[in-house]
Amino acid sequence: MKEIKSIGVLTSGGDAPGMNACIRSVTRAAIYQGWKVYGVYRGYEGLINDDVKEMTTESVSNTIQRGGTILKTARSEEFRTFEGRQKAYATMKKHEMDALIVIGGNGSLAGAQELAKECDIPVIGLPGTIDNDLYGTDATIGYDTALNTIMECVDKIRDTATSHDRIFFVEVMGRDAGFLAQNSAIAAGAEAAIIPEDNTDIDQLATFIGRGIRKSKNSSIVIVSEKDGGAMHYAERVRTEYPEYDVRVSILGHLQRGGTPTAKDRILASRLGVASIEALKEGQRNIMVGISNDDIVYVPISRAVKWDKPIDKELINVLSILSI
């Protein structure tokens, strides 16, 4: 196996709080090993267009507390093509990068897998997404911060809901994963969470109306995953089917992606960054570095992006019990 002397690092897809802490960790851990580090700007698009700069320890000073990503991020349609990936590989060869570390979510890691397969290069994925939907890791970088952001927003919305005797449907991110919705509902004391994983034939809205609206409650908060019409869909149903209730919608949107990362996200990002360099030293390739029961784990990228990460059904039970 070729000895590694130089690596590239990039962030791809949606930004997540803690990505800068991860870039910092990867950069400094690699320099500690005596390796060169190249920061690739604007994700795979930057790799195609040679938007690359050598990183130093100073490059990542005073970044651990910053949200977003100093390397910028973008989605790249060209990288989805074989020709685009060959251009990206040409940039790697030009700068003599021996391996690539990709910080991102499902699509970003799937792209890394394609590049690794076609060009026979070591690639390490690091789970950077607020959705927490990558299989094989208990938590993803940015998830804890987003969860806290949602909780703080819902706490504020609760004040208005209570003052006006209203039902608020609060839409959160997560796409096909309900981790943010379910856990923020528990943390914020919401009456219900409507999530993709709870996809039985039972009408989740009817269940909530039948169970959640009681004489002892003059307001309710329902956290809704953004899938299938999201909060607007359910609010419209209430207006049509249960017109006696006063309904409002709050869509939190990109608010959830921003902000200073929590201590938990900074520590996770730092650990995963160092572990990615350790993995390369060990000769690992085409794996995602994750965390399980507070231990670092290596998961094949193919498994991380293809397997569905199950939500703990006990969480659904907990919310049901506590929302009486």
* Sheet hosting strand 247-251, strand order edge to edge: 192-194, 220-225, 167-172, 247-251
In this structure, are residues 22 and 269 in contact, taking their beta carbons and an 8 Å threshold?
Answer: yes
Whole-number Å distance between alpha carbons of 116 and 101 = 11
233 token code pair: 């869909």
Side-chain-side CA neighbours of 204 within 13 Å: the count stands at 21
131 is catalytic: yes
Q: Of these residues, 15, 131, 144, 265, which one is catalytic?
A: 131
DSSP per residue, 123-179: EEEEEB-TT---TT-S--BTHHHHHHHHHHHHHHHHHHHHHHT-EEEEEE--TT--H
In this structure, are residues 105 and 134 in contact, taking their beta carbons and an 8 Å threshold?
Answer: yes
Q: Annotated catalytic sites, by residue?
A: 131
